[in-house]
């Protein structure tokens, strides 16, 4: 059975690449470059796999057919077989004039074979006694300068670029609902997506959105968590994977890994250690969620 995840990412994208490599390259993440400076990307990244959704969006967008059952064992976020979903998918397939229009949203640079089936793993991989038959990973970013889009291009991952409107942040999430309606993911993964998720979106997909945070929550919530822990002088810190709720880093904890801060550790060294933990912990939690039928009370 095909499993599918949507990853929301804004910047460097090292966690995104770690997830992709874990599933598609049998966990080989040693070659990850965590020191890429986002500011080095000065021009709009035009990936052949990137689908650009412009800001001409109507708030009267179609509702997503959401299954109200939040059990983690659901096969998909969108399990309700509604004919409107099929109609919408048909519109996506019908590519004309190099773009597809859904309501008032244009999806540019689309090729039929890429919109429908771009990056599905066909070969079985044995990891922890779990057979991964099919896993499709899709990137969504709101930052056209983000290096994560380049990573997606290099890894042949389909990506959506949805422009961020500072005056109307909810418009991004209405467009994201359209993408969810098309792709029907099993899980939404935040990986360096530094935006507050509005309440209406969290409630709709409660139990299906997870995030990773570089501290042992509930300590050091919010931005610059590694630096906060280092400057505070704590002896132990770590990484937390948690469900997303309406607060900032307040969702139910799924898993944590503890790291002792050594006396000789610099801030840079500590950041490096934390990122290594993130790159192993996050994919393993996602795998459990998708393939091991973990039951977590969200």
- Of the residues 213, 242, 275, 279, which is catalytic? 213
What does DSSP assign to residue 39?
G
Alpha helix stretches (DSSP H) within 25-146:
83-93, 112-116
Measured distance CA(116)–CA(89) in Å, rounded? 9
Measured distance CA(97)–CA(223) in Å, rounded? 43
CB 54 within 8 A of CB 44: no
Residues β-bridged to residue 108: 52, 99
Measured distance CA(286)–CA(136) in Å, rounded? 13
| Residue (of 112, 132, 113, 114) closest to 122 by Cα position | 132
What does DSSP assign to residue 183?
H
The structure tokens listed for 7 are 């990853």
What does DSSP assign to residue 257?
E
Please, what is the Cα angle at 298 between 286 and 20, to 5 degrees?
A: 15
| Residue (of 57, 51, 150) closest to 98 by Cα position | 51
The structure tokens listed for 273 are 């250690």
Whether the bond between 218 and the residue before it is cis, its omega within 30 degrees of 0, is: yes
Residues β-bridged to residue 160: 51, 140
Which DSSP string do the residues of 11-37 spell out, in sequence order? S--HHHHHHHHHHHSTT--TT------
Active site residue 213: yes
Measured distance CA(270)–CA(285) in Å, rounded? 22
Measured distance CA(159)–CA(161) in Å, rounded? 7
* Residues belonging to the active site: 213
């Amino acid at each position: 059975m095909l499993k599918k995840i949507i990853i929301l990412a804004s910047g460097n994208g090292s966690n995104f690449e770690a997830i992709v490599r874990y599933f598609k390259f049998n966990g080989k993440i040693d070659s990850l470059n965590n020191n890429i400076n986002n500011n080095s990307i000065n021009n709009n990244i035009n990936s052949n796999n990137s689908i650009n959704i412009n800001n001409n969006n109507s708030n009267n967008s179609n509702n997503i057919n959401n299954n109200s059952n939040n059990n983690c064992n659901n096969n998909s976020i969108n399990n309700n077989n509604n004919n409107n979903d099929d109609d919408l998918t048909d519109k996506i397939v019908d590519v004309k004039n190099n773009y597809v229009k859904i309501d008032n949203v244009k999806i540019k640079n689309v090729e039929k074979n890429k919109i429908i089936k771009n990056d599905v793993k066909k070969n079985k991989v044995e990891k922890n006694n779990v057979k991964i038959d099919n896993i499709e990973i899709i990137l969504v970013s709101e930052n056209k300068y983000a290096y994560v889009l380049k990573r997606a291009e290099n890894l042949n991952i389909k990506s959506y670029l949805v422009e961020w409107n500072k005056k109307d942040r909810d418009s991004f999430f209405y467009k994201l609902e359209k993408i969810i309606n098309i792709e029907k993911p099993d899980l939404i993964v935040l990986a360096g997506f530094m935006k507050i998720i509005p309440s209406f979106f969290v409630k709709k997909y409660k139990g299906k959105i997870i995030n990773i945070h570089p501290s042992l929550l509930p300590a050091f919530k919010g931005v610059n968590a590694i630096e906060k822990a280092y400057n505070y002088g704590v002896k132990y810190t770590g990484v937390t994977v948690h469900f997303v709720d309406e607060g900032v880093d307040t969702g139910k904890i799924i898993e944590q890994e503890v790291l002792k801060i050594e006396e000789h550790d610099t801030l840079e060294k500590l950041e490096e250690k934390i990122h290594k933990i993130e790159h192993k912990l996050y994919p393993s939690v996602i795998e459990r969620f998708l393939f091991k039928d973990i039951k977590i009370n969200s």
